[in-house]
Structure 1
Amino acid sequence: MNDQSLLLWIIGAILTFTGLAGLLLPLIPGAPLLFLGLLFGAWAENFRFVGLWTLLALAGMAGLTYLVEFAATALGARKYGGSQRAMVGAVLGGLVGMAFGVPGILLGPIAGAVIGELSLQRTLDQASRAGFGTVVGMAIGVAGKLAIGIAMIGLFLVVRLF
C-alpha cells in the first residue's frame, strides 16, 4: 500500500464514520458523507474490488435514506390519526425547518403536522396526536436511515472482501 492509498483510506474512514453519525444527528448530511467515504475506500484500491455497479447501488441506497426519512415522518402523522394535510404539513415543515438549524429540523415537522390538522378545523387534541405521530415517525425514520447506512457498509465489505 502506497502513501496515496493510505491517505485515501484514512479520508474514507473519517467520512464513513462521520456519515454514519450524520444519519443520527441533524445538520450533518449523513448519507452523502457515508457514500463519499465508501467511494474513497474504493478509490484507494483503484476501484479494483468495488466497481461502478456497486457504487451505483450505494448511491441509490444513500438516496433512499431521504425517502425513508420523509415517508416515515409523514406516515407517523397518519398512523396517529393525522389527515393527508398533516402528512404534507409534516414533510413541508421538515423542509422549511432545515433553514432554522437543529430546532427547526426537530420542531418543523411537528409544527407542520399540527398546523395541517388545525387548518381542517380539528381539535387541538387531534392535532397534537398527529404531532406526536410525527415524532414517532421521525424516530422510525432515523432507525431506517441507520439500517440503510449499515447495509451500505455491509455491501461495500462483502464486495470488497469476497
Structure 2
Amino acid sequence: MNDTLLWILSGTLILAGFAGIVLPALPGTLLVFAGIVLGAWIDDFTRVGWVALAAIAVLALLAWAMDYVAAMLGAKRAGASRLAIAGAVVGTVAGIFMGLVGVLFMPLVGAAVGEFIARRQHGQALRVGIATWLGLLAGMLAKFVLAFMMVGIFVFALAV
C-alpha cells in the first residue's frame, strides 16, 4: 500500500478518535493511539520510537481511566444510586441517536431519571443528574487534553 494512503489512514484514525471522545460509540483514545502507532510504523519507528510510543501509551491508558473515574466521582460525590449510574449509561447510549445535543445532555437526563426511580426525590434526582453530567464533561475534557498531548508528542517526534 502506498505511504500516502497509509498517512491518510493514520490521520483519519486520529480524527475519528477525537470524534470518539464525544461520541461514545467510537473508542476515541484507542483510535488516536492506533493512528499514532500506524504513523510510527509507516516511518519504521525511526522518528517516533519506542520511548515516545510508551509515553503516548501511558497517556492513552490515563485517558481511558479518566473517563470512568471522572463520571463515577461526580456520581458518588452526589450520593448517586446504582440506578442513577445505570440511567447515565442508558442516557449516553440513547443520546448517540440524537446527535451532539443528545450525547451531551442525555446522560444527565438518564442519571436523574434513574435516581428518581430509586429514591423518588425530585431535588436529589436533579442534583445527582447534574453531578454525574459534570463528571462526564470533566472526563471528556480530560480525554481531549490527553489526546492532544498524545498527538503533540507524536508530531514533535516526527519533526525532530
> TM-score by structure 1 length?
0.76
The alignment covers a number of residue pairs equal to: 155
1:146 is matched with which residue?
144
2:47 is matched with which residue?
49
Deviation at 1:64, TM superposition (A): 2.0
Alpha-carbon distance change, 151 to 25 in structure 1, aligned in 2, over 3 angstroms: same
Task: Tell me, yes or no, if the aligned pair for 1:8 and 1:43 is still in contact at 8 Å.
Answer: no
What amino acid is the match of 1:102? I
Instruction: After superposition, give the CA deviation of every residue in 1:113-162 in whole Å (9 maximum; x if it has no partner).
Output: 6635764x472211220111111111111111111110100111122222
What amino acid is the match of 2:12? I
- Whether 1:102 aligns to 2:96 is yes
C-alpha distance in 2 between matches for 1:41 and 1:109: 37
1:115 is matched with which residue?
114
Task: Tell me, yes or no, if the aligned pair for 1:24 and 1:142 is still in contact at 8 Å.
Answer: yes
Deviation at 1:65, TM superposition (A): 1.8
Match of 2:155 among 154, 157, 161: 157
> TM-score by structure 2 length?
0.77
Alpha-carbon distance change, 136 to 50 in structure 1, aligned in 2, over 3 angstroms: same
> What does 1:13-92 align with in structure 2 at a 5 Å threshold?
13-79=11-77, 82-83=78-79, 86=80, 91-92=85-86
1:136 is matched with which residue?
134
What amino acid is the match of 1:131? G
Unaligned runs of 5+ in 1: none
C-alpha distance in 2 between matches for 1:92 and 1:69: 16
Query: Identity over the aligned pairs, expressed in percent?
Result: 33
What amino acid is the match of 1:156? F
